[in-house]
Amino acid sequence: MDLLSLLSWACIVFTVGMFSTGLTDLKKMRESKSTDNIQFLPFLTTCLNNLGWMYYGILKRDQTIILVNIIGALLQLLYIIMYFRYTKQKRLVSSQTLAAGVILICGWLYFTMFLTDGDIRLSQLGLTCSVVTVSMYLSPLTDLVEIVRSGNVQCLSFPLTVATFFTSTSWVFYGLQLSDYYIVVPNTPGIFTSLIRFYLFWKFASVNQGSPSYKPVHI
């Protein structure tokens, strides 16, 4: 097995593992019959991101990107359905899902009908997906600042942090092997934000050692 194949399998395993951390929220929703303390938008934005990267993989003919994001999109769709089933804010969730659907359709029309040149389409799609991925990795920084102030890491998920670190690292090396910086650049912030969270766990672990577990959230 060559290095590229090894990295491909690493990307698949670690990324599916990262997406599967949402099963914790799914279990919590089923047990409590509610969506209290569980956010909906991370599921929705991740699903849109998966669909964007899946299309990028199709244009690039990259089976690794296609497979990972098909699995990711299906998992996010499952989380979205279950969230809608148990939430009390069905009107808000419906409007957010409808808005996401409109964005998805507009994006598909733009990239398929207005961008006829294959290279330009691939480049602009890669740039769009990269910007969305970077924003998703950087969006929790305000939460990390609050954790530094409070010294409480119970709102962080350690398994998700580990999964994010290995996932981001695998995709960075995979992108470097392909010389595809649309893969390298958006995954680099995931490494740094994971290292910050590892540091926070190390620094405040003794303060929270009496707690039975970390509460999983999407950070």
This prediction has a pTM of 0.86
Phi/psi at 205 (nearest 5 deg)? -60, -40
Token pair for 119: 């290279």
Find, among 194, 133, 124, the residue nearest to 162 by Cα. Answer: 194
Which letter does DSSP use for residue 113 in this model? I
**Which residues have a Cβ under 8 Å from the Cβ of 140 and sit 6 or more positions away?**
193, 219
Digit-by-digit pLDDT tens for the chain (219 residues) are 689 999 999 999 999 999 998 898 899 999 999 998 888 998 999 999 999 999 999 999 999 999 999 999 999 999 999 999 999 999 999 999 999 999 999 999 999 888 878 889 999 999 999 999 998 888 777 777 777 787 777 777 788 889 999 999 999 999 999 999 999 999 999 999 899 889 888 887 755 554 433 333 333
Find, among 209, 217, 162, 210, the residue nearest to 190 by Cα. Answer: 162
**Which residues have a Cβ under 8 Å from the Cβ of 12 and sit 6 or more positions away?**
64, 67, 68
Phi/psi at 117 (nearest 5 deg)? -75, 125
